[in-house]
Amino acid sequence: MFFRLLMESFRRQRRRKALAGLAILLGTTAVTAMLALALTIGDRIHNELAVYGANIIVFPTAEQLDVKIGGVDVKPASGSFLKETDLSKLKTIFWANNITGLSPELPLTINTSTAGGSPIAISALGLWFNHPFTDTLKTGAPSLHPWWKINGAWPTSNDQAVIGSALATKLNLHTGDTLALPELASHLTITGVVSTGDATENQLLLPLSAAQTFANLPNSISRVEVSARTKPEDAFARKDPDTLSPKLREVWYCRPYANSIAYQIREAIPGSQAEQVRRVEQSEGTVLARISGLMWLICAAALLAAGFAVSAAMATAILERQGEIGLMRSLGASKGAIAMLFYAETGLLAIIGGTLGYLLGSGLAAWLGARIFANEAVTLGTVLNPVLLPVIVALALVVAIAGSTPSIRTTLKMNPSEILRADA
Amino acid sequence: MKTTVKTHLTFTTMLRRSLIHRRGRSFSALVAMTVSAAVATALLTLYADLDAKLHKEFRSFGANIVVTAPTGSKGLPEDALARIKTAAGPDAIAAEFAYAVATTDRGTSVVVAGTDFDALRRLNASWQVDAWPTAADTNAALLGQRAANFIADERAVKLTFAGKDITLRGVGRLKTGGDEDSRIYIPTSAFHAWTNVAPTVIELQIPGGAVNVESALTRLQHELPDAKVEPVRQLVEGESRIVDKTHALMYGAVLLIALTVAVSVLATLSASVLERRRDFALMKALGGSQTQLMGMFLLEALVLALAGVAVGFVIGSAAAWIISQVNFHTASQPRIGVLPLVLLLNVLIAAMAALFPVRVLRGLQPAALLKGE
């Protein structure tokens, strides 16, 4: 009997059910889309913030200070280097998966000659270009400096190099030209001219292994730039891990703060010093926190608005059917049975509307995300977040039931004969 | 004339009675209209401020324009800083730097920079400094954390440049993770008296993203044609990208939420109009014309819409204020400017809600309805 009543109610009152269902559907669509966007906004903004370059730098514990003004080495320091082979140890640190890129470098001076034939010493930098670091991660200087613009191609072998635009003008070199290195009995093919907007424009960029050979410093690197996905710094992150109790130290160590990752890098690479680049890291943290905070608050606003919309729709749907309730009561149905019927209807609507809303909202979030943040792989796994489904359906159920409760209670309190007379 | 007044009276009485008699329904319709107005107000207020607020967050990245003296020159002209400040506008922060390579008491070469600590502090919010020296303290030195390791006595920092000694009081350590860690910062006056080296670099921060930076670049280059005026490329590009994307995201969110609320409100209101088919039939049977009835429904919906806007604007402005305060730590003042748009939106929803069911009602036969189907 109960199921027949339920089924008939859906079959006969299609328009009313459609209206209430539509409210739930739209509400859950908006909430799902906002939640799905808010959940992924952190990673997306982090990817965008990657344009600022490395947020951690690693350098050897020095016996000497860098004497750099405006990015130019006034008095090149000599002596201390890190080992390139030690970089593979970064794969074993606790937050290895959060390292999204690294770029080791080795500066050197190369003697060559100008177009006119007079000898000249140019500064050069050995770098990784699209170097396979792990099976999935190919990294190097271009990926850590997205603002570098190349006219040509990055070097792919040891006899190739790219040249900074200012230096290229000075030496009158173009893509495809050959730079002779008489002292080293070698030559480099220029595969591109790079514009960087900083001191690198006056340098020759060549593959790291070629630089190591030329400088006769096998396996040496002087500095590593690391880009890592980090958690914005809070008061706890600023603590010195060595002053914490072992338990708290463990907690500190296992959080992806820039400080903890730098600490782990120091542990992994012997003789190294790792620091967060505060200008990038601190500011990224603020920007990330503001934008994701904004998304969550908008999400809350969406939830509130959807909640109001759904409960208002449910309340109307119940109020409309006072006559029906009066009739059922006068025919002897108990209050409990009627409430059960209405709640069952509401629940069914919420489950159907919530599920459809989840699908629609996920699709909408994926579409919006792809429109706004370009070059992203869209797969079914990234579009549909399985955790959201029960959350959304549960939310829809709670809101719909909470929204219809006051109306059901008011109507049940009324005298059935009064309702029926008023309706007639 | 008399008839008009009578109609008018009947209209208001009917309206009042209709709103009061069906208190529950009027209330739920009013709530719906209030929610739609509040959401629209809150989102529009936030949206209007968004770019300014986001650009403000990007100030912590520091300087976005660097002015350098031409190579081979003796530094920037003496009045360069004042001229740049005038050309850049009142919102810009500018700090000038003079550099010299000195020797510490341990015999290590170190870069010493002469600058104005107040400007340095405002320009670089992200730096970690134990204690900033005051501008009045002409004998203070800020030691980069790596440079500090090469100094025997941090209280009395002894530096030598071209045979001339200077002893400064180290007030704090500086931690940035960049080249600054290997430098020592001292006040311009002390630096100039000691080395007689003129400033060569002015770092500037222009708020407001790529467009402002571009126009500032032109103005600055015009002011100092010899100097090299360059943007810090990654900062300028990154800021615009992120602000644009967040803006687009907010736009999508605003549209989505507004649409949801609008359609839900429409559904609620339409249902409450449709439910009054019997009233409609009765009024028609008593001689009401189609236009009069439509006007009646419309007026009722509009009254609710206006009440909704009045309450919703206050709630929405409060919500926007709270969201700004919580997230950006600055208040978003209520904007009267969004009111017309909110009003238009709500009136549109109300009008649609009242008129949409009329099509359904028009086809009904009053007699059939009154007879009970």
The secondary structure of B185-226 as a DSSP string is EEEHHHHHHHH-PPP-EEEEE--S-HHHHHHHHHHHHHHSTT
The verdict on residue A260 lying in a domain is no
Q: Which residues contact B125 (CB under 8 A, 6 or more apart)?
A: A282, B59, B60, B62
My answer on whether A96 and A134 are in the same domain is yes
For residue B1, the model assigns a pLDDT of 44
CB contact under 8 A, B246 and A291: yes
CB contact under 8 A, B267 and A20: yes
For residue B9, the model assigns a pLDDT of 53
Closest CA to B180 of A300, A225, A65: A65
Single out the residue in A210, A226, A242 at which a domain terminates: A226
Single out the residue in A226, A246, A275 at which a domain terminates: A226
pLDDT in tens, chain A (424 residues): 677 777 777 777 777 777 778 888 888 888 898 888 888 888 788 778 877 888 899 988 876 777 777 777 776 656 788 999 999 999 899 888 888 889 999 998 888 887 777 888 888 999 999 899 888 888 999 988 888 999 999 999 999 999 999 999 988 888 988 888 887 778 889 999 999 888 888 899 999 999 999 988 899 998 899 998 888 788 888 888 888 899 999 999 888 888 999 999 999 998 898 989 888 888 888 888 888 888 888 888 778 877 777 777 777 777 777 777 888 888 888 888 888 888 888 899 899 999 999 999 999 888 888 888 766 656 666 678 888 899 999 988 988 888 788 878 887 887 777 777 765 4
CB contact under 8 A, A278 and B248: no
Mutation choice for B interface testing from A46, A63, A297 by most B CBs within 10 A: A297
Domain span at residue A339 reads 2-47+286-423
The verdict on residue A236 lying in a domain is no
Closest Cα in chain A, distance from residue B235 (Å): 7
Which residue is closest to B371 within chain A, CA to CA? A424
d(CA B279, CA B288): 11
CB contact under 8 A, B233 and A278: no
The verdict on residue A243 lying in a domain is no
Closest Cα in chain B, distance from residue A304 (Å): 9
d(CA A368, CA A363): 9
Per-residue pLDDT reduced to its tens digit, B258-308: 787 777 777 777 766 666 777 777 777 887 777 777 787 788 888 888 999
d(CA A341, CA A331): 15
Structure tokens at B341: 């748009």
Which residue is closest to A146 within chain B, CA to CA? B234
Strands B183-187 and B109-115: parallel
Percent of chain B with pLDDT over 70: 91
- In chain A, what residues touch B253 (CB-CB under 8 Å)? 34, 37, 295, 298, 302
Determine contact, residues A393/A358, Cβ cutoff 8 Å: yes
CB contact under 8 A, A291 and B323: no
Closest Cα in chain B, distance from residue A80 (Å): 15
My answer on whether A77 and A40 are in the same domain is no
For residue A377, the model assigns a pLDDT of 59
My answer on whether A112 and A22 are in the same domain is no
Per-residue pLDDT reduced to its tens digit, B81-123: 899 989 888 889 999 999 999 988 888 889 999 999 999 999 9
My answer on whether A11 and A103 are in the same domain is no
CB contact under 8 A, B237 and A279: no
My answer on whether A27 and A70 are in the same domain is no
CB-CB: which of B25, B57, B245 is closest to A319?
A: B25
- In chain B, what residues touch A34 (CB-CB under 8 Å)? 253, 256-257
CB contact under 8 A, B265 and A309: yes
Determine contact, residues A43/A376, Cβ cutoff 8 Å: no
The verdict on residue A187 lying in a domain is yes
Total CB pairs under 8 A between chain A and B: 232
> How many domains, chain A?
2
Closest Cα in chain B, distance from residue A79 (Å): 14
Which residue is closest to A322 within chain B, CA to CA? B275
The verdict on residue A247 lying in a domain is no
My answer on whether A90 and A218 are in the same domain is yes
CB contact under 8 A, B28 and A319: yes
Residue B267 one-letter amino acid: A
My answer on whether A357 and A412 are in the same domain is yes
- In chain B, what residues touch A298 (CB-CB under 8 Å)? 43, 46, 250, 253, 257, 323
Which residue is closest to B252 within chain A, CA to CA? A368
Backbone torsions φ then ψ of B79, nearest 5 degrees: -90, 15
d(CA B232, CA B203): 10
CB-CB: which of A37, A276, A309 is closest to B260?
A: A309
CB-CB: which of A70, A275, A312 is closest to B32?
A: A312
Closest CA to A402 of A311, A317, A320, A301: A311
CB-CB: which of A48, A278, A291 is closest to B127?
A: A278
What band does B2 get if pLDDT is binned at 50, 70 and 90? Answer: very low
Closest Cα in chain B, distance from residue A415 (Å): 17
CA distances from B48 to A30, A372, B45, B335 (A): 21, 19, 5, 9
Beta bridge partners of A331: none
CB contact under 8 A, A75 and B146: no
- In chain B, what residues touch A360 (CB-CB under 8 Å)? none
- CB crowding B191-230: b at 16 or more within 10 Å, else e: beebbebbbbbbbbbbbbbbebbeebbebbbebbeebebe
My answer on whether A220 and A311 are in the same domain is no
My answer on whether A320 and A392 are in the same domain is yes
Single out the residue in A179, A200, A226 at which a domain terminates: A226
Closest Cα in chain A, distance from residue B311 (Å): 15
My answer on whether A194 and A79 are in the same domain is yes
My answer on whether A166 and A218 are in the same domain is yes
My answer on whether A96 and A174 are in the same domain is yes
- In chain B, what residues touch A74 (CB-CB under 8 Å)? 101, 111
Q: Which residues contact B147 (CB under 8 A, 6 or more apart)?
A: A65, B104, B110, B181, B182, B183, B184
The verdict on residue A74 lying in a domain is yes
CB contact under 8 A, B177 and A57: yes
- In chain A, what residues touch B237 (CB-CB under 8 Å)? 51, 147
ipTM of the complex: 0.77
d(CA A313, CA B32): 9
d(CA B177, CA B110): 17
The verdict on residue A235 lying in a domain is no
The verdict on residue A327 lying in a domain is yes
